Amino acid sequence: MGSEGQVAATEKKRQRTIVILFGLFIGLLMFCTLFSNTLESLTLPKVVTEKALLGSLDYKLEAVVSCGLCPK
Amino acid sequence: MRRIQKSVMTAIMAVFAGLILSPIVITFTNSIMTEQEIEMNYGLIGHVGSAVSASAQQFVNLKLLPDLVSIEQYSMLLIQNSKYIAMFWNSVFMVVPIIAGQTLVAALAAYAFSKLRFRGRELLFLVYLFTMLMPYQVTLVPNYMMADQLGLLNHPSSIILPGIFAAFGVFMLRQFMMHIPYDYIEAAKIDGAGHLRIFWSIIAPLIKPGIAGLVILLFVDYWNMVEQPLIFLDDALKQPLSVYLSSINKGALGVAFAASMLYMAPMVLLFLYVEPYFIEGVQLSGIKG
């Protein structure tokens, strides 16, 4: 009788774990359903617009030359 | 000697269990791959239609472990593209009413077929059985015409209503109720109980394992349906996830495995939950799943 009660208790515990897991799964999906657009918009790069200005382009070029074989 | 025999049996069982579990393991490990890796390994599947002769000579590269672990697929599925979640909810909103409705209707009908004595009972049950034995394709055209007449086409109720009144549940629960002695009902009648009271207080607690078995079988059946939604629902946004998964070779390989995991999760959890009742229920009703 004692072992039977133990089995029933283990079974109950297992079922409770499954219910919690199921709740978490459905909760995650509901959260994603409601907030996926918000989360998505947070990851998008932000862009700002500016008025066009008159001016010239800066043509200054810089370079670093390295030589692996040259003695230091 | 006995120990060796047991070890050998365990080893053989382990091999079979491994073989049976391998698709699930592969699906899981592949669901944490990047999209590029999936395309690289299984890209061929996406082009089957266009190059049958070429692909017949080639094989996909089935990979167990990902080179780079990533949750890209899950992010795509759950956050970036809401189509998949919508499809998941479509599946849920079709399957839950079907299971709830069919269990209720079937339990009451099974009670009538097994415990009430009325004229033509056996004949009526035979008619029920006939509708169950007919392949789905046979009843498809009449079903479609009826849904059209009722204005239900392109609406989930065109799938839910035939699902609720399907005969399988009646058959299964009737078999189950046949094992309950009629004496219980007579005793309850003497005490002044009506049919609803008898059903609710005596029959329902006794057929719990049968109901658990029915729920899991119905869930598997309707969670995996493809033909019904394809025919009754024109709007792609109303279709369940099973339709998407059945056409996975037509592009969108990137989220295929994650979608499969998402699709599998409720079924596995439900099975684990009702497993003890389910096995008992199937054994008692004598029906194989």
Tell me which chain B residues have a C-beta less than 8 angstroms from the C-beta of A36.
Answer: 78-80, 82, 85
Residue of A7, A30, A33, A42 to mutate, testing the B interface (most B Cβ within 10 Å of its Cβ): A33
pLDDT at B93 over 90: yes
Q: Whole-model pTM above 0.90? A: no
pLDDT at B285 over 80: no
Angstroms from B221 CA to nearest CA on chain A: 20
Average pLDDT over residues A53-67: 83
pLDDT at A54: 87
Instruction: Label each residue of chain B as H, E or C.
Output: CHHHHHHHHHHHHHHHHHHHHHHHHHHHHHHCCCHHHHHHHHHHHHHCCCCHHHHHCCCCCCCCCCCCCCCHHHHHHHHHCHHHHHHHHHHHHHHHHHHHHHHHHHHHHHHHHHHCCCCCHHHHHHHHHHHHHCCHHHHHHHHHHHHHHCCCCCCCHHHHHHHHCCCHHHHHHHHHHCCCCHHHHHHHHHCCCCHHHHHHHHHHHHCHHHHHHHHHHHHHHHHCCCHHHHHHCCCHHHCCHHHHHHCCCCCCHHHHHHHHHHHHHHHHHHHHHHHHHHHHHHHHHCCCC
pLDDT at B169 over 50: yes
pLDDT at B57: 59
pLDDT at B181 over 60: yes
* Residue scoring higher pLDDT (B249 or B146): B146
pLDDT at B44: 67
pLDDT at B197: 92
* Residue scoring higher pLDDT (B235 or B47): B235
Mean pLDDT of chain A: 84
pLDDT at B289 over 50: no
A32 to chain B: closest CA residue: B78
pLDDT, tens digit, for every residue of B17-39? 999 999 889 888 888 888 888 88
Instruction: Name the helix (H) or strand (E) containing A52.
Output: none
B288 confidence band (pLDDT: 50, 70, 90): very low
Note whether B88 contacts A: Cβ–Cβ < 8 A. Answer: yes
Tell me which chain A residues have a C-beta less than 8 angstroms from the C-beta of B271.
Answer: none
Tell me which chain B residues have a C-beta less than 8 angstroms from the C-beta of A18.
Answer: 269, 272-273
Q: Which of B79, B85, B273 sits opposite A15 (nearest CB)?
A: B273
ipTM for the assembly: 0.75
| Contact across the interface for B273 and A39, Cβ inside 8 Å | no
Q: Which of B79, B82, B269 sits opposite A22 (nearest CB)?
A: B269
Domain boundaries, chain A: 1-38
pLDDT at B245: 81
| Contact across the interface for B79 and A36, Cβ inside 8 Å | yes
pLDDT at A4: 74
Average pLDDT over residues B117-146: 88
- What percent of chain B clears pLDDT 90, i.e. is strictly above it? 31
| Contact across the interface for A36 and B82, Cβ inside 8 Å | yes
* Residue scoring higher pLDDT (B256 or B163): B163
B246-250, B255-259, B269-273: lowest mean pLDDT where?
B246-250
pLDDT, tens digit, for every residue of B207-223? 888 898 899 999 999 99
pLDDT at B198: 92
pLDDT at B46 over 50: yes
pLDDT at A21 over 70: yes
The CATH class for the domain spanning B94-240+266-285 reads mainly alpha
Mean pLDDT of chain B: 85
Domain boundaries, chain B: 94-240+266-285
